[in-house]
Homo-oligomer: A and B are copies of this chain.
Amino acid sequence: MYGLILAGGSGSRLWPLSRELYPKQLINLQDKESLLQATFERIANCMPEENIISMTGVKHFSNVKYQLSSICNNALVLSEPISKNTAPAIALAAKYIKDKFKTDPVILVVPSDHLITDTGVFAATVKEGEKIAQMGYIVTFGIKPTYPETGYGYINVTNTEILSGVKVNKFVEKPDEKLAEEYIADGHYYWNSGIFMFKASTLLDEVKKHSPEIANVLEEFDFSESNEIPFTIYDKMPSISIDYAVMEKSNKIALLKLESGWNDLGSWKSIYDVSEKDRDGNVKIGHVLDEGSKNSLIYSSSKLVATIGLENMVVVETEDAILACRADKTQDVKKIFETLKKQNDNTHLVHKTVYRPWGFYTVLAEGNGFLTKMIQVNPGQKLSVQSHNFRSEHWVVLEGTAKVILEGKELILSPGHSIDIPLKAIHSLQNPYKENVKVIEVQKGDPLIEEDIIRYEDMYGRV
């Protein structure tokens, strides 16, 4: 069996904890592994690690690669040059696996940002699904609805059994509350979890039949030599979901009930729902001090959050943005996100702390012609060999021992040591040792933008 993890995402739903460049699947909600890492480990129970492909956008590539590399050697990550929704990504992965590995296996497709409570039940359901997929069906995992949710698509099933599954009648769009109640009463409706299984050839045949515009573009790809997905070809794909492109049109769809416990974590309200509560029904994470609140989610990532008398509220603190929201309005977080995006406000895009393959940096202060960062270089990591056309830099080592390459010379700097990096000088900051290196960087110049970087060598392939 092969696996495909869909690791795109806009970062809007759990803003301000998620950002456009750091979406939900990359977040550590409670100092545990990220949802992406949990997803990888969950499906690695069902197949060899080397059969798992993660598909993400260029924007998230290095973060996805970095997170997976910490739990698996050589995780295979493919990078979409432009986002085209789920159908092109899934079809392309099926072709990739067929071409590259000269095989026609069953492929399990999973979103990277859902919560599954019982990994054992999940693995057992996948095993059942494999049998049905081998019979030529596209198997979709359905969740028995527990309340009339209006934010999900529903799947209507027939009474025709296929092994432990059942034949699908049709996919239906998000209903209003009344219709959702009717679906639940009817008993033949399931929530669409977005988890699928199929033989590569089954999917490709169905794509050819129902979405020839995708199938035609697929023909142009050749993965025999490279893993790259050329922009000029991929950009010809229509932007369309797998539901619209295939599921709603195919008559080869079977549904398998997934009873592992599932939540799409699609809003702060759903984070509250799946979290453990105290006696007052509160979920308090981080440095929180409360007086008499009830049924509220209070999340602090860096600073003290003091709350008094809240009821059914969500408060989320991050280094550069704070959200205070009624618990029944958390879908509207998307509106805030879209407004920020329209206003070119960077708080929709990145965190104040930006993660890189070598560590992270935080902008501490910005002003008239200067910018101050704290940089952490993780053990064994190096920043690229680089130069800047518009800025000089000054580094002060705070912790650890830094190796600095400056114009070909090598210097070893201890805490308290400092060095000037002149305009246009070729340099690199490196940490060959076992302790983290922390450095204060003061940039001076105009403009002071991340893009002012010329790379000469890079261990992460960013030259």
Q: Closest B-chain residue to A310, C-beta based?
A: B324
Number of chain A residues close to chain B: CB under 8 A? 59
Check: A364 CB closer than 8 A to any chain B CB. Answer: yes
The distance in angstroms between the C-alpha atoms of A325 and B306, with both chains bound, is 8
| Interface mask (A303-315 → B, CB under 8 Å = 1, otherwise 0) | 1111111110101
Q: A100 to chain B: which residues have CB within 8 Å?
A: none
Check: A111 CB closer than 8 A to any chain B CB. Answer: no
Check: A420 CB closer than 8 A to any chain B CB. Answer: yes
Check: A408 CB closer than 8 A to any chain B CB. Answer: no
Shortest Cβ distance from residue A299 to the other chain B in the assembled complex, whole angstroms: 11
Check: A374 CB closer than 8 A to any chain B CB. Answer: yes
Check: A125 CB closer than 8 A to any chain B CB. Answer: no
The distance in angstroms between the C-alpha atoms of A340 and B303, with both chains bound, is 13
Most B CB within 10 A of own CB, among A292, A311, A364: A364
The distance in angstroms between the C-alpha atoms of A345 and B336, with both chains bound, is 33
Stoichiometry, copies per complex: 2
Residue in B304, B367, B415, B444 whose CB lies within 8 Å of A322: B304
Contacts A418-B394, A442-B398 given: A325-B304 contact, CB under 8 Å? Answer: no
* Secondary structure dominating the interface of A: strand
Shortest Cβ distance from residue A16 to the other chain B in the assembled complex, whole angstroms: 7
Q: Are B415 and A370 in contact (CB under 8 A)?
A: yes
Shortest Cβ distance from residue A292 to the other chain B in the assembled complex, whole angstroms: 7
Check: A162 CB closer than 8 A to any chain B CB. Answer: no
> In chain A, residues 375-397, which have Cβ atoms closer than 8 Å to a Cβ of chain B?
392, 394, 396
Contacts A396-B442, A415-B370, A416-B394 given: A321-B340 contact, CB under 8 Å? Answer: no
Q: Are B320 and A333 in contact (CB under 8 A)?
A: no
> In chain A, residues 394-415, which have Cβ atoms closer than 8 Å to a Cβ of chain B?
394, 396, 398-399, 415
Check: A185 CB closer than 8 A to any chain B CB. Answer: no
Q: Are A324 and B347 in contact (CB under 8 A)?
A: no
Q: A420 to chain B: which residues have CB within 8 Å?
A: 418
Check: A289 CB closer than 8 A to any chain B CB. Answer: yes
The distance in angstroms between the C-alpha atoms of A320 and B392, with both chains bound, is 31
Q: Are B304 and A321 in contact (CB under 8 A)?
A: yes
Q: A416 to chain B: which residues have CB within 8 Å?
A: 392, 394, 442, 444
Q: Are B322 and A322 in contact (CB under 8 A)?
A: yes
The distance in angstroms between the C-alpha atoms of A430 and B261, with both chains bound, is 64
Q: Are A336 and B306 in contact (CB under 8 A)?
A: yes
The distance in angstroms between the C-alpha atoms of A358 and B423, with both chains bound, is 33
The distance in angstroms between the C-alpha atoms of A374 and B339, with both chains bound, is 32
Residue in B311, B319, B332 whose CB lies within 8 Å of A309: B332
Q: Closest B-chain residue to A330, C-beta based?
A: B308
Shortest Cβ distance from residue A394 to the other chain B in the assembled complex, whole angstroms: 5
Further pairs besides A305-B321, A365-B374: 9, Cβ < 8 Å: A291-B335, A306-B322, A308-B330, A364-B364, A365-B398, A365-B440, A367-B399, A370-B398, A398-B442
Closest 8 CB pairs between A and B?
A309-B326, A309-B329, A308-B325, A364-B364, A370-B398, A304-B321, A416-B444, A306-B336
For this complex, 24 residue pairs linking A to B, each with C-beta atoms less than 8 Å apart, are A289-B340, A291-B329, A291-B332, A304-B322, A304-B345, A304-B347, A305-B322, A308-B329, A311-B326, A313-B324, A315-B322, A362-B365, A364-B365, A364-B372, A365-B398, A367-B398, A368-B399, A369-B399, A369-B415, A370-B398, A392-B416, A394-B418, A396-B442, A418-B418
